[in-house]
Amino acid sequence: MAEAKRIDGKAFAGGLRERIGKAVAVLKETHGFTPGLAVVLVGEDPASQVYVRSKGKQTVEAGMNSYEHKFDKDASEAEVLAMIEKLNNDDNVHGILVQLPLPKHIDETKVINSVSPDKDVDGFHVVNAGRLATGQAALTSCTPVGCVMLAKDVLGNLSGLEAVVVGRSNIVGKPVAQLLLAENCTVTIAHSRTKDLDEVCRRADILIAAVGRPQMVKGSWVKPGACVIDVGINRIDGENGKTRLVGDVDFDEAVNVAGSITPVPGGVGPMTIACLLRNTVQAACMINNVDVPEM
């Protein structure tokens, strides 16, 4: 069988950022507002610092305003909540993102739910999760939106397809399953207690792996011709004492069975920030009572 089409998330995300930039220019010109994204970072986690830097850079490149609020790792929960309250009331801020994980002494759920649902561009607030689950307009978690955009780009209409999502986290597994259901897929959500996981996966026309276990999904678990979307980002030992990134799917095996597949890196990963920018434009339009432009 021929090798699967490699889904180029980096190129797709680049195109999406360009369309977002154009939409932002129109909003400025026609409606006189500039979408603004505020990121709150607590502590010095190196990976979080890298993410926050790229978010800021890409926000500015898309013509939007970027605000960063950094706190020491010992900052109190009350200080962080006070900052979020201030941002909730700031008319220049349309999106608020609290970089996770937070230090252990801060209640993550409480902080997430203190963000105004209208500015919750991460889509983690319980109100947005509820809106998504009940088919109402919602700000939806960025990585799941990115997964479904890539699947639709390759497959077109997803209606009637069998989708299997491995993983049931609130930030990836559950929202991606809801989005696929909204696309009229028949959705199975698998997790650590699922029996005969390989057989369940083999039913999938669209297989989404969001597990956090390096190369767990083997080629023999993939239905020939399926679209495989690998959300996993795992660092493993590579050659010459260096580490390398791999997904939750054994790419080298699955690429010989699937019809299309996202690589890691360069697949789902780049979509997350692009979808965050898209959500910020969406939030800004909703706050300003303006139709959300095509992006």
Report residue 43 as tokens: 């502590």
Interacting residue with ligand NAP among 169, 186, 256, 288 (CB under 6 A): 169
Exactly one of 55, 119, 174, 223 is catalytic; name it.
55
* Residue for token pair 């605000």: 67
User: Closest separation between CB of residue 112 and ligand NAP, Å?
Assistant: 14
Distance between CA atoms of 169 and 172, rounded to whole angstroms?
Answer: 6
Exactly one of 58, 99, 178, 282 is catalytic; name it.
99
Contact flag: residue 75 with ligand NAP (CB under 6 A): no
107 included as an active-site residue: no
Dihedral pair phi/psi, residue 80, rounded to 5°: -65, -45
Interacting residue with ligand NAP among 173, 175, 259, 263 (CB under 6 A): 173
* Residue for token pair 């997430």: 112
Q: Per-residue contact track with ligand NAP, 8 to 37, x per CB under 6 A?
A: ------------------------------
Residues 218-237 that bind ligand NAP (CB under 6 A): 231-234
Whether 209 and 232 have beta carbons less than 8 Å apart is answered as yes
Its sign, for the CA torsion 123, 127, 133, 138, is negative
Closest CB to ligand NAP among residues 21, 265 = 265
User: Closest separation between CB of residue 201 and ligand NAP, Å?
Assistant: 10
User: How many chain residues are in contact with ligand NAP, going by CB under 6 A?
Assistant: 25
CB burial class (10 A; 0-12, 13-18, 19+) of residue 32? exposed
> In angstroms, how far is CA 216 from the centroid of its own chain?
21
Contact flag: residue 176 with ligand NAP (CB under 6 A): no
Whether 170 and 122 have beta carbons less than 8 Å apart is answered as no
Interface residues with ligand NAP (CB under 6 A) are 143, 166-169, 171-173, 190-194, 197, 210-213, 231-234, 268-269, 272
Positions annotated as catalytic residues are 55, 99, 122
